[in-house]
Amino acid sequence: MSLSNVSTAISLLFPPTFVLFMHFYGFEKVAFAYAIFMFLYLLLSLAMKESLKNISTPLIYFAFVVIAYMLSSMEFIRLIPALISASFFLFFLNGYLQKKELILTTTKKFYNKLTKQKEEYLAKSDGYWAFVIFLNTIIQVGLVFYDNNELWAFYSSVGWYIFMFLALILQIVYGKFYIPKES
pLDDT digits (tens, 9 = 90+) for 102-148: 999 988 888 888 888 888 888 889 999 999 999 999 999 999 988 89
pLDDT digits (tens, 9 = 90+) for 66-85: 999 999 999 989 999 999 89
Read out DSSP for 54-108? HHHHHHHHHHHHHHHHHHT-HHHHHHHHHHHHHHHHHHHHHHHHTT--HHHHHHH
CA angle 172, 176, 182 (to 5 degrees): 135
pLDDT reading at 183 higher than 60? no
Under a CB-based contact definition with an 8 Å cutoff, are residues 133 and 89 in contact? yes
The mean pLDDT value for 34-62 works out to 86
Under a CB-based contact definition with an 8 Å cutoff, are residues 125 and 103 in contact? yes
Read out DSSP for 4-41? HHHHHHHHHHHHHHHHHHHHHH-HHHHHHHHHHHHHHH
